[in-house]
Structure 1
């Protein structure tokens, strides 16, 4: 099996909650249908993909989710971070999230929703944050040089403007404006950037001088106005410092990125 083709198929199916037909997968990934069919067969044999009951297409199995959860459990990060995230959510009444740096991406791995009734803003866990238009992405990028931040964003791309909020940056100049302001404040904040009518604030979690994750809060802009965000940033900074001090207890956060000391 072509490893590259297999990984592309897994990534594509991760965005297809109801599964996708062979033709749809092959066309989306520009793969010959014979190759796509063969790779899908091997993924099915491996337990990573299953056919839909009516044989109309393919859908991810829970194996990748299970593997990821098992890995997170072994690192100890869930045991350390979850009480902190839940406390922040309870104190603020908003959606609190933790993301972890994973190579060239930052992944949402834990959440707690403090808003038990009414409107809920709930992005999918396990996905990589879009660096250019999320408070999580901005909080990570603000900890590095402009050159390194630009390189990561260019690698991931800006995405399509209609997929995000009306204030999402669509150029490097606009993005750097967000990052420079975040560095001055000490935290990242966005208003109708990731989604219309939504706001968010995020603070990097550091181990020494290295950013290993981000703690964020998100909710409707009617609740998260600029003044409240400034107030909540103090709470987030305290939580980020607390988690940073505890991170030596978690194997994942204690290890430097591959190739770095």
Structure 2
């Protein structure tokens, strides 16, 4: 690995998954960096306030500076202010977890949520993660709006989900994924059971104005024992109506309005979609 910027970004992205801190030796080994260069880059990041060194073992961890920047960005973008009332209402209606993911280039990232379940088993994944496109309802809802070759290219670049890493029903081939995407597109929203995680069901609808690219995805998720195929079919019209409402209101948010514009084509060719 070469280049000061590349090294810095690799370290920052690596440390996101290690909030308790990581030793220098492990960082340099797993990122294939010389220990001396890794040490120098870490201390430059400390100087800029992005990394801190733990007081006892000397491990390295992120500070809250990046999180603060991200939250400030989302706040100024207006997306949470616009989306939260819609998400809250859908969560109350379904009594399940509702999430909004934003299309950001090649990524689909969770940015807002509302928990509708008041008791029993709650499903609540970490916010800010980049979702696996091949086996998440959100990923499928986005992919089904893209031309087939673009969808396949995005999934191939990120990698297919496997049952060992995700749920037993996660697609393991592009052919299986394409079959699922066609069914989702015909329905108008994606529907997955035991795909993203064992025992978890989810459904998602794209946030998009007619003839324009998908800018986000609205998701309902919950335990499979409660969020059954029957209940998801019942929630389908409300999910799509909420997604349409967000698509219209999203014109007031710079982030939602500009998401996915100018990347991989505009996704506006109806004839090439699933």
**How far did 1:161 drift?**
4.0
Q: Runs of at least 4 residues of structure 1 off by over 6 A?
A: none
Determine whether 1:234 maps to 2:250. no
Q: Secondary structure at the match of 1:207?
A: coil
Tell me the equivalent position of 1:100: 102
Tell me the equivalent position of 1:62: 64
Aligned 1:173-252 pairs, distance under 5 A:
173-208=175-210, 209-252=212-255
TM-score (norm 1): 0.95
2 CA distance for matches of 1:259 and 1:210? 10
2 CA distance for matches of 1:256 and 1:194? 24
Contact 1:17 1:59 (8 Å CA) reproduced: yes
**How far did 1:143 drift?**
0.5
Tell me the equivalent position of 2:271: none
Q: Secondary structure at the match of 1:91?
A: helix
| Uncovered stretches (5+) of structure 2, i.e. residues with no partner | 267-274
The correspondence for 2:27, drawn from 17, 25, 28, is 25
TM-score (norm 2): 0.91
1 CA distance for matches of 2:49 and 2:105? 26
**How far did 1:33 drift?**
1.4
Contact 2:106 2:154 (8 Å CA) reproduced: yes
2 CA distance for matches of 1:116 and 1:9? 39
Contact 1:207 1:247 (8 Å CA) reproduced: no
**How far did 1:116 drift?**
2.9
2 CA distance for matches of 1:220 and 1:257? 31
Map Cα deviations across residues 118-170 of structure 1 (whole Å, 9 max, x no partner).
Answer: 32111111111110111011100010011000111111112554220111112
Tell me the equivalent position of 2:117: 115
**How far did 1:32 drift?**
1.5
Contact 1:168 1:192 (8 Å CA) reproduced: yes
Tell me the equivalent position of 2:270: none
2 CA distance for matches of 1:19 and 1:89? 35
**How far did 1:255 drift?**
2.1
2 CA distance for matches of 1:200 and 1:49? 36
Tell me the equivalent position of 2:53: 51
CA RMSD of aligned residues (A): 1.5
The correspondence for 1:2, drawn from 1, 4, 8, is 4
| Uncovered stretches (5+) of structure 1, i.e. residues with no partner | none
1 CA distance for matches of 2:33 and 2:76? 36
Tell me the equivalent position of 2:256: 253
